[in-house]
Structure 1
Amino acid sequence: MKLRRADFPTDFMFGAATAAYQIEGHSFGGAGPTHWDTFSATPGNVVGAENGAIACDHYHRMDADLDLLSDAGMDAYRFSTSWARVLPDGRGTPNQDGLDFYDRLVDGCMARGLKPFQTLYHWEMPSALADLGGWTNPDVADWMADYAEVITRRIGDRVHSIATLNEPWCVSYLSHFLGHHAPGLRDIRATARAMHHVNKAHGRTMTRLRDMGQDTCGIVLNFEATQAASDISADRRAAATQDATHNRWFIEAIAKGHYPAEALDGLEPHLPANWQDDMAEISQPIDFLGVNYYTRGLVQAVENAPWPATAPVGGPLDKTQMGWEIYPQGLQDTLIRMAKDYVGTLPMFVTENGMAWPETDGHADDARTGFIDSHLQAMHAAIGQGVNLQGFFYWSLLDNYEWAFGYEKRFGLVHVDFDTLDRTPKSSYHALKTAIARQDPA
C-alpha cells in the first residue's frame, strides 16, 4: 500500500467493523427471533435460504476475533449490539446472557487497547415488534429508545461512541420499497413511513442517550456517488431523484431539519400525519457522522413509469464480487460534500468501506489490497482538503453472513471456513497490518 499510518493525522484511528446478526450466531445465548429469520426462511429471499443462526460463531469465539484486531495493530472495533439478543421480545425483560455477552465484548476490547464503537441497530428487528409493523409503526421510536436505555445502562460507561442506526436507507427504502431486505415489502406507503420513522427513532434515541448523560453519539449513513448516465435532462432529473432518496433524505433531516423536495415529490402523500412535528427532535445535534461508502450509482430515466421512474445503469469500471463498480473518487467527493453542505467541521469516520471478492487458494486477495489502498488515498485527499475525518473502519473483519447473499459474498480481511469456522488472515489483512504499523521513534 502506498500510504502508511504516518501519512494520516496523529490521532487518526484504524479499525474494522462487523454486525451482530452477521457474525455472532443468533441461535446462541437466548437471543429472540428476528425478521431476518423469517425473511430468510421464505423461498427466494436469501441465497440458499441461509440465515444467521450460526454465522461465524463469534458468540463463542469472541476472544480470538478480538485478538485478530489487536494483532493487526488496529485502534478500534466497530460492532453492533443486537436488539433481539438484549430484549428477545423487543420489549420487557432483558436477556441477562445477552447483556453479559456485550459486557465481555466491551471489556475484551478495552483489555486489548481497542476503542469500542457501538452501533445500536444493524438491521435485526425483533420478530415480536415486526409483528406490530416494525418500522412502519410510529411507536418504534419509543421501542428503540427503551432498548437503547437497557444496553446503555450496561455498557455505556465504557464504549467510545454510540451510533443509533446503521444505514437507515437500507432499513427503510431497500427493505420496504425495493424489497431486497427484511421485511421484504414493496409498498410506497410502508416505505414513506419507515423512512420517516427511522429518523424519528434516531431522534428519540438521541434524546434518551442525552438524558442519560451520554456524549459522542451519532449515526451511520450510507452514501453512493449518484450520477446521471447521460447528460440528457431526463437522466439528470432521475439522478437528482435518486440522490434525494439515497443520499440526502437522512442527512438533510438530521443536519437541516427538512426533507429534499425531489424525494417529497413521491413520498409526501404517504408520510404520516403531522410528520413535520418530529423534525426538531430528528435534527438535534450529533457528535459525529459515520459515512459508509462502497460504489457509485449511474442512473437513467424510465419513461412512462411511476415515481421515481429511475433505473440503474452498469458502469464501465472494474467490479467487485457484488457487481459494484470500484470508484474511490466517489468517497473523496462524498466526504467533501458532507463537510461542505451538511456537517462542517463535525468529526466524521468512514465506518464502512470494503469489497467482496471470491475465495482464492492461499487466501491471496491482491484486489482487496488495491481496493483498500485506493480508498485510503481518497480519504487522505479529503483530509488534505480540510475534511475532519478521524478514522476508517474496513468492512469487514470476517467473511460473514451477507444478508440476502447468504455466505457467498466474502468481504473479510479474514477468511472464515463456514464448515469448520476456522479463521485465516488473508493477504489484505497482512498488507493493512503493515501499512498501519506504528513506527518506533528513532
Structure 2
Amino acid sequence: MMPEQDTLAHKFPAKFVWGVATSAYQIEGAANEGGRAPSIWDTFSHTPGKILDQSNGDVACDHYHRYVEDVEHIANLGLDAYRFSVSWSRVQPDGCGEWNEEGMAFYARLIEALTQKNIRAHMTLYHWDLPQALQEQGGWLNRDTAVHFARYAQEMAARFGDQLASIATHNEPWCTANLGYGNGQFAPGVVDPVAALQVSHHLLLSHGLAIQAMRKQNKSAKLGIVLNQWTADPATDSEEDRAAAAWEYARSVQWFMDPIFRGHYPELALAKIDRSRFIVAPEDMQTIQQPIDFLGINYYFRAYVSTETPPRLPEAKLGITDMGWEIYPEGLSRLLIGIHQEYKDLGLPPIYITENGMAVADQLEGEQIHDSRRIDYMQRHFQEVAKAIEAGVDIRGFFYWSLLDNFEWNSGYLRRFGLIYVDYVSQRRIWKDSAIWFKGFVQQFQHWRSSTKGTSTSREPT
C-alpha cells in the first residue's frame, strides 16, 4: 500500500524542486520555420522504415507556436521548474559559423514566459538532434564536433546563463552512442558498436570542453550533465550471471561516471573492447574530469542480466509499460544509494531526477483520460526517491517525463508519456488524471513547506 498523498509529500526537503521535462525535436515542430536547418532526426525520421508509424517531428506538438499555452499548463500544475532542450540547428543552422537570431529569440521568449510565471528554466544543450550539416562532416565520430559543441555551449551560456537555473551539456549520451551508432535504432542510424565507443568518448570530451567554456562566462546557472542509469541485476546467483551483470553496469553507468569523477574509463569495460579503434588523446581525461554543479539522472527500468539461452526474463510483478519496460521502482532507490556510496568522495554533486515516467496506451473517454497506472507509477517512484533522501543521498529535485505526449523517437506518436494528452490533429491539450493528481501532490508539498516553521518557501533551488 502506497502512502497517502500528503504523507508522501512531507517526505521531501522544503527546497525540493518539482518540474516536468521535454525535448526540442519531440515537441517544437516548426521544422522549416524561423531559420532552422535540418537535424539528424529530420533526416532519420524522413527515411522510410525508420519510424514505426512512418511519422516525423515536422509538427509534433507545435510547441514553437503554442509555447505560451504550454507554459500556462506548467504554471497551472503549480510546478517550480521546466526542463527543456535547445534545437542546436535552430540557433546555429550549420552547427558552426553564424548564429540564427530568430531561433535565439524563440528561446528568449520561452525563458521570459517561464520567468513571468515564476518557473525556473533548466536548459539542456543536446538532446540527440545534431545539425545535419555536422553529420555530413562525420558527426560525433569527428572529434571536431566536440569543439563545435563547446563553442555552441559558450554562446548559449553567454546569452542566457543568468536567466537559467541550470544548463546540462548532454541528455543521455549513452543513447546517442549506443542507439545512434551501435545498433542504428536512433539517428543517425549507424550500426557499428566499435564506432559507438569512440562516439561516447567524443561526447564526454565535448561535455568537458563545454563545461570549461561555460565556466569562463561567469554566469549564475548551475552546470552539469544528464545520464540515463540503471541497476544491473543478475537473473540468477550463478557466477556467469553475476559477472555479466557487473560488466553491464561497467559498460553503461560506470562508462560515463568514471571519466567524469575518476578521470578514467572502468577497467572491466575496457577489457572487452577493441582499443585499436578507441582513440583517447593524452589530455582528454583531464578535460572530461571537470567539476560539475549537479548530476541529472534519468531512470526508467533496471537491467536484468541473464546468460542463459533464451535469457530469463524478470517476473515484472508490477507489470510493464507501453514501451515494454519492466516497472521496477525499487531500482531507483538502489541506484541512487549505490551511486552515492561509490562516488560521494569523488566530487559527486547534488542530484536531480531529470526524467522518470511511464508510457501508457491512454484512451480519450469524452474529455477525460483515466490513467490510474501512471499515478501508481509516480507514487511508487516518488517513494523510492524519498527513501534515497532518507538514506543520505543529496537529491534536489524531480522532473516528470513528460509534460506532453510527443514524438517518441522511433516509436513516432504510438507511445504516450505525457501528463497532458495531445490530440495531434487539433493540437488540443487535455489534462490526464495523472496531471490532476500531480497538481494535488505538489499543492500538498507546498502547503507543508509554507507551514514549516523556520523553512524558506523560496522556489529558488539551492
1:315 Cα offset (Å): 4.2
Contact 2:419 2:432 in 1 (8 A): yes
After superposition, give the CA deviation of every residue in 1:11-50 in whole Å (9 maximum; x if it has no partner): 0000000001100003332211011112112222211221
Question: Counterpart of 1:328 in structure 2: which amino acid?
Answer: P
Secondary structure of the 1:190 match is: helix
Structural mapping, 1:184-333, within 5 Å: 184-214=189-219, 215-301=221-307, 313-317=313-317, 318-333=319-334
Who is 1:143 aligned against? 148
Question: Counterpart of 1:371 in structure 2: which amino acid?
Answer: Y
Q: Distance in 1 between matches of 2:308 and 2:137?
A: 35
Secondary structure of the 1:30 match is: coil
Secondary structure of the 2:331 match is: helix
1:377 maps onto 2:383 in alignment:
yes
Q: Distance in 2 between matches of 1:34 and 1:312?
A: 39
Q: Distance in 1 between matches of 2:299 and 2:312?
A: 17
Residue 273 to residue 236, structure 1, CA distance change in 2 (3 Å): same
Residue 222 to residue 274, structure 1, CA distance change in 2 (3 Å): closer
Who is 1:307 aligned against? none
1:350 maps onto 2:353 in alignment:
yes
Q: Distance in 2 between matches of 1:108 and 1:170?
A: 31
Contact 1:81 1:118 in 2 (8 A): yes
Contact 1:16 1:76 in 2 (8 A): yes
Contact 1:196 1:271 in 2 (8 A): no
Q: Distance in 2 between matches of 1:434 and 1:147?
A: 39
Contact 2:45 2:57 in 1 (8 A): no
1:423 maps onto 2:429 in alignment:
yes
Who is 1:54 aligned against? 59
Q: Distance in 1 between matches of 2:181 and 2:69?
A: 37
Q: Distance in 1 between matches of 2:344 and 2:281?
A: 23
Who is 1:306 aligned against? none
1:84 maps onto 2:85 in alignment:
no
Q: Distance in 1 between matches of 2:210 and 2:57?
A: 26
Who is 1:93 aligned against? 98
Who is 1:405 aligned against? 411
Number of residues paired by the alignment?
A: 436
Residue 311 to residue 18, structure 1, CA distance change in 2 (3 Å): farther
Contact 1:328 1:378 in 2 (8 A): yes
Q: Distance in 1 between matches of 2:397 and 2:13?
A: 9
Question: Counterpart of 2:14 in structure 1: which amino acid?
Answer: T
1:388 maps onto 2:404 in alignment:
no
Contact 2:158 2:214 in 1 (8 A): no
Contact 2:329 2:384 in 1 (8 A): yes
Who is 2:28 aligned against? 24
After superposition, give the CA deviation of every residue in 1:106-156 in whole Å (9 maximum; x if it has no partner): 111111011111101000010000111111111111110111122222212
Who is 2:370 aligned against? 364
Q: Distance in 1 between matches of 2:388 and 2:149?
A: 34
Question: Counterpart of 1:319 in structure 2: which amino acid?
Answer: I
Structural mapping, 1:107-186, within 5 Å: 107-186=112-191
Secondary structure of the 1:218 match is: strand
Identity of aligned residues (%): 42
Greater CA deviation, 202-211 or 41-50? 41-50
What's the RMSD between the two structures over aligned residues?
1.8
Who is 1:2 aligned against? 4
Contact 2:194 2:274 in 1 (8 A): no
Q: Distance in 2 between matches of 1:406 and 1:196?
A: 29
Residue 186 to residue 23, structure 1, CA distance change in 2 (3 Å): same
Who is 1:103 aligned against? 108
Secondary structure of the 1:203 match is: helix
Q: Distance in 2 between matches of 1:6 and 1:27?
A: 46
Secondary structure of the 2:210 match is: helix
Secondary structure of the 2:302 match is: strand
1:240 Cα offset (Å): 1.7
Question: Counterpart of 1:380 in structure 2: which amino acid?
Answer: A
1:441 Cα offset (Å): 4.3
Structure 2 unmatched runs, 5+: 453-462
1:337 maps onto 2:335 in alignment:
no
Question: Counterpart of 2:188 in structure 1: which amino acid?
Answer: P
Question: Counterpart of 1:22 in structure 2: which amino acid?
Answer: Q
Pick from 13, 18, 35 the counterpart of residue 17 of structure 2: 13
Question: Counterpart of 2:325 in structure 1: which amino acid?
Answer: W
Greater CA deviation, 96-105 or 254-263? 254-263
1:212 Cα offset (Å): 1.2
Q: Distance in 2 between matches of 1:384 and 1:272?
A: 41
Question: Counterpart of 2:4 in structure 1: which amino acid?
Answer: K
Q: Distance in 2 between matches of 1:274 and 1:314?
A: 37
Relative to the length of structure 1, the TM-score reads 0.95
1:343 Cα offset (Å): 3.9
Q: Distance in 2 between matches of 1:412 and 1:328?
A: 19
Contact 1:136 1:193 in 2 (8 A): yes
1:419 Cα offset (Å): 0.7
Greater CA deviation, 283-292 or 212-221? 212-221
1:192 Cα offset (Å): 1.5
Q: Distance in 2 between matches of 1:368 and 1:29?
A: 36
Contact 1:11 1:390 in 2 (8 A): yes
Residue 36 to residue 270, structure 1, CA distance change in 2 (3 Å): farther
Q: Distance in 1 between matches of 2:394 and 2:272?
A: 34
Question: Counterpart of 2:341 in structure 1: which amino acid?
Answer: K
Contact 1:176 1:185 in 2 (8 A): yes
Question: Counterpart of 2:106 in structure 1: which amino acid?
Answer: F
Secondary structure of the 1:208 match is: helix
